[in-house]
Amino acid sequence: MQRFHVKKGDDVVVIAGTEKGKHGKILEVQPAKQRVIVEGLKMIKRHMKKGRSVETQQQGAIIEREGTIHISNVMLKADYDARAAKRGAAAGAGQA
C-alpha cells in the first residue's frame, strides 16, 4: 500500500486544476484511485432515484456533493504558506 503526503483531516490547498487556489479539509482519501475528497470543493450533482421501499418513501432528488481531486493536485496548507512566505521574502530581498 502506498503512503501519501496527506491524510484525512488535513487542511490542503489545490495547486492545479479548475479549483486552483482554493482550500479545505480532506474528508476522505481513496488510495486505490489516488484521489481525495476535499470539503466544499469540486461540487458535482448526483441524480437520486425515488426510494422503492415503504420505510423510506424518499422523493427523487438532485443532490450536490463533493467530487474527487487527484492527490498530486493538493498540497498541505502549512507547506503552501511556507512556500509563499519564502517566495515573498526572496523577491523582496532581490529588489534592493
Task: For 37-87, write each residue's pLDDT tens digit.
Answer: 999 999 999 998 887 655 555 788 888 999 999 999 999 999 999 998 888
User: Looking at residue 38, which CATH number applies to its domain?
Assistant: 2.30.30.30
Residue with cell 421501499: 53
> Which residues, 6 or more positions from 56, have their beta carbon under 8 angstroms from its beta carbon?
none
pTM for this predicted structure: 0.75
Higher pLDDT, 31 or 49: 31
Residue 92 lies in a domain: no
Is there a domain that residue 6 lies in?
no
Cα separation of 33 and 86, whole Å? 33
In a domain, 93, yes or no: no
Q: Which range marks the domain in which residue 58 is found?
A: 11-86
Taking the C-alpha atoms of residue 16 and residue 69, their distance in angstroms, rounded to an integer, is 10
Residue 2 lies in a domain: no
Q: What is the pLDDT of residues 73-90, one digit of tens each?
A: 999 999 999 998 888 866
Q: How many domains does the chain have?
A: 1
Residue 65 lies in a domain: yes
Q: Is 62 among the domain residues? A: yes
Establish if 63 belongs to a structural domain: yes
What is the structure's pLDDT at 3?
Answer: 87
Q: How far is CA 30 from CA 38, 56, 67, 77, 80, in A?
A: 12, 29, 12, 20, 22
Half-sphere exposure of residue 95: CA atoms within 13 angstroms, side-chain side: 6
The pLDDT assigned to 51 comes to 74
Q: What is the Cα–Cα distance from 59 to 52, expressed in whole angstroms?
A: 10
